[in-house]
């Protein structure tokens, strides 16, 4: 089964405010872009992925991610993460009506293509499914099979909300790179320990990360 991925990305100037203890205001946009670049590069390289659509209005991010092979979808709703994902999914489905779709966070800098393939393979067994993040509170991937709506409920406590919506939680081991999103300095340390992609490695090389 080949999947279409929808990756939402807010304007870089407003991204990753919770990394303020680790990176200065001037550095955080570059980190957010690097996270997205490593996420998209790994997703494009995944054998289970047919295409990647990035929903963003950030011009720099659009250029850089398109260069990696992503399709750029303007954030027409401009009404937050879930609206962006629903819009991206609708655009993808208009072009490929029978494609299974998965929403994937843009902040997975340690993402491994093989681990993503394992998650998508497991998700394909259910009409809707999701993977909890490393903290076991949020969600890093939400999948919907052909003819199923994505129905994203990302945000605070999204693990509980996705479970309540009827999506099947994927109980998988060995897919840490798909779970490890980055919101805080601690998250970044954990991602670096897993081994991040080249973009994040380059941008984070000069940071003095607390606790590292």
Q: pLDDT in tens for each of the 212 residues of the chain?
A: 899 999 999 999 888 877 877 777 778 899 999 999 999 999 999 999 999 999 999 999 999 999 999 999 999 999 999 999 999 999 999 999 999 999 999 999 999 999 999 999 999 999 999 999 999 999 999 999 998 999 999 999 999 999 999 999 999 999 999 999 999 999 999 999 999 999 999 999 877 554 54
Contact 93, 99 (CB under 8 A): yes
Q: What is the pLDDT of residues 36-75, one digit of tens each?
A: 999 999 999 999 999 999 999 999 999 999 999 999 999 9
Q: Is residue 97 part of a domain?
A: yes
Q: Is residue 212 part of a domain?
A: no
Q: Is residue 196 part of a domain?
A: yes
Contact 181, 134 (CB under 8 A): yes
pLDDT, position 209: 57
129 bridge partner residues: 143, 168
Q: Is residue 113 part of a domain?
A: yes
Q: Is residue 210 part of a domain?
A: no
- Hunting for tokens 């954990």 — which residue is that? 190
Q: Is residue 211 part of a domain?
A: no
Provide the phi-psi class of 207: left if phi over 0, else alpha when psi is between -120 and 50, else beta: beta
Q: Is residue 55 part of a domain?
A: yes
pLDDT, position 62: 98
Domain housing 71: 3-204
pLDDT, position 208: 53
User: What is the number of domains present in the chain?
Assistant: 1
The CATH number covering residue 132 comes to 3.90.550.10
pLDDT, position 212: 45
């Amino acid at each position: 089964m080949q999947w279409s991925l929808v990756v939402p990305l807010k304007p870089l100037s407003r991204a990753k405010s919770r990394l303020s203890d680790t990176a200065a205001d001037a550095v955080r946009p570059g980190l957010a872009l690097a996270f997205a670049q490593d996420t998209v590069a790994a997703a494009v390289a995944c054998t289970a992925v047919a295409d990647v659509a990035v929903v963003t209005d950030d011009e720099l991010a659009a250029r850089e991610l398109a260069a990696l092979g992503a399709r750029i979808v303007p954030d027409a709703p401009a009404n937050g993460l879930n609206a962006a994902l629903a819009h991206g999914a609708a655009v993808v489905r208009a072009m490929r009506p029978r494609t299974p779709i998965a929403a994937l966070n843009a902040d997975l800098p340690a993402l491994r293509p093989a681990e993503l393939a394992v998650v998508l393979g497991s998700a394909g067994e259910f009409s809707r499914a999701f993977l909890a993040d490393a903290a076991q509170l949020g969600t890093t991937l939400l999948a919907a099979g052909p003819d199923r709506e994505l129905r994203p409920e990302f945000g605070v406590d999204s693990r509980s909300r996705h479970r309540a919506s009827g999506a099947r939680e994927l109980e998988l081991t060995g897919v840490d790179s798909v779970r490890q999103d980055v919101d805080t300095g601690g998250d970044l340390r954990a991602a670096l320990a897993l081994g991040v992609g080249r973009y994040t490695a380059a941008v984070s090389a000069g940071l003095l990360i607390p606790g590292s």
